[in-house]
Amino acid sequence: MMLNAKKVDTAKGKEKTYKLSDGGGLYLQVEPNGSRYWRMKYRFGGKEKRLSFGVYPAVTLAEARQKRDDAKKVLAAGDDPGEVKKAKKLASKSAGVVLNPFKEVALEWHRLKSPKWSVGYATDIMEAFEKDIFPHIGLRPIADIKPLELLEVLRLIEARGALEKAKKVRQRCGEVFRYAVVTGRATYNPAPDLASAMQGYESVHYPFLRANELPEFFSVLKSYTGSPIVLMGAYLLILTGLRTGELRAAEWREIDFDNALWEIPKERMKMRRAHLVPLSRQALEHLKKLKALTGAFPLIFPGRNDHNKCMSEASINQIFKRVGYGGRVTGHGFRHTMSTILHEQGFDSAWIETQLAHTDKNSIRGIYNHAQYIDGRRKMMQWYADYLDSFMGSV
């Protein structure tokens, strides 16, 4: 059967590479990591050969079919389409045409990856390329860019004092080079080797509290007399390990009280992957109290002046500031606190990383992890809630 757009778009990586045929020699090769490549199998001079037509979705099904039809015309004329393709590349190079400029490959990589990112993250990456990379090496053939050439561009960013940004831009450039390598447009990725030659950047973690600081903190937090909605939001943030943005934009439809689960849709997650959060008894108690206050609205934490918008980004951190902990802890810092305590207690690292919605470096395994560890994470998060309660009860 011929392929259709839905079959191509929903093709997922499996344990081994597999193919989806479209007929006429054209097929989609699906790799374990989910990458999808257009290929065409044909015979010339009694030998079986293959042509590469690009990567989906940068190359659509219709475009791949057109490339197949063009190759068949070359075959019908008695020529080898693979050799004709090589000859055209050589002719373009001789005519001064830039083959596979870095900018072209980077834009293609960005189009391929950005559907999985948040809009803000995708925009930040493109702005960095347009400001700091494209003006210098955007028109250079990606296969010709040497390590020193890339290093000189990155050092221009460092010269502004933007060391963290230089590190991140190097990493993104590395992803573009890696994409060029797997798509046959480069043979070497120079970016990783430059790390030791750069000034380096030591990540500044969000301020966080250690276990021995928690009793005093919770004692002071009880003295807060401002908005009960924001206060319960702070407690839920601490009890669940969510990012502040994930919590603020929460909707009541995401909460399953019967099964004590909070399912956050992929559209609201940083890495565009749905996230299941097991809820402890304490977390459920806070949600039930909130239901009485904001249950009439879609949002759990509606804005004070506009109920169609969520509470402001600074709301929870303002609580910590008002009780005297400004600069000592942030909402995000409690993720670090949770991770530290749970690791010290010997809980499975995979459970902890999944609870914090960190990306699994094994892309196939990571697809399933958000549900795979629910039972273990449920026990772990109930232990953590009881642990925090013991501090609160001791003051």
Split the chain (395 residues) into runs of 10 and give each run's mean pLDDT.
Answer: 88 92 93 88 90 86 93 90 80 64 94 86 91 92 89 88 88 93 86 79 65 91 91 95 89 94 84 84 96 94 88 89 88 89 87 80 43 86 93 55
Q: pLDDT value at position 98?
A: 60
Q: What is the phi-psi region of residue 312: left when phi exceeds 0, alpha when psi lies from -120 to 50, beta otherwise?
A: beta
Question: 343, 241 in Cβ contact below 8 A?
Answer: no
368 among known catalytic residues: yes
Considering the candidates 39, 72, 321, 358, report the single residue annotated as catalytic. Answer: 358
Among the listed residues 67, 68, 185, 243, the single catalytic one is: 243
Residue whose structure tokens are 């802890």? 329
Q: Could you tell me the CA-to-CA distances from 301 to 224, 284, 313 in Å, in that order?
A: 18, 15, 11
Gap between the Cα atoms of 370 and 185, Å rounded: 35
pLDDT score for 26: 96
CB-based contact 177:142 (threshold 8 Å): yes
What is the spatial distance between Cα 392 and Cα 395, in angstroms, rounded to a whole number?
6
332 in catalytic set: yes
Residue 243 annotated among the catalytic residues of the structure: yes
pTM above 0.85, yes or no: no
Among 73, 93, 146, 368, the one annotated catalytic: 368
pLDDT at 240: 95
Catalytic entry in 332, 336, 370, 378: 332
pLDDT at res. 274: 82
Active site residue 178: no
Selected catalytic residue, list 268, 335, 336, 370:
335
Residue 240: what residue type?
A: T
Angle, alpha carbons 227-229-233 (nearest 5°): 120
Cis? peptide before 57, omega within 30° of 0 = yes
Q: What is the pLDDT of residue 205?
A: 57
Active site residue 335: yes
Distance CA 92, CA 131 (A): 29
Domains of the chain (ranges; CATH) run 5-94 (3.30.160.390), 102-197 (1.10.150.130), 211-393 (1.10.443.10)
Which residue among 49, 178, 270, 291 is the active-site one? 270
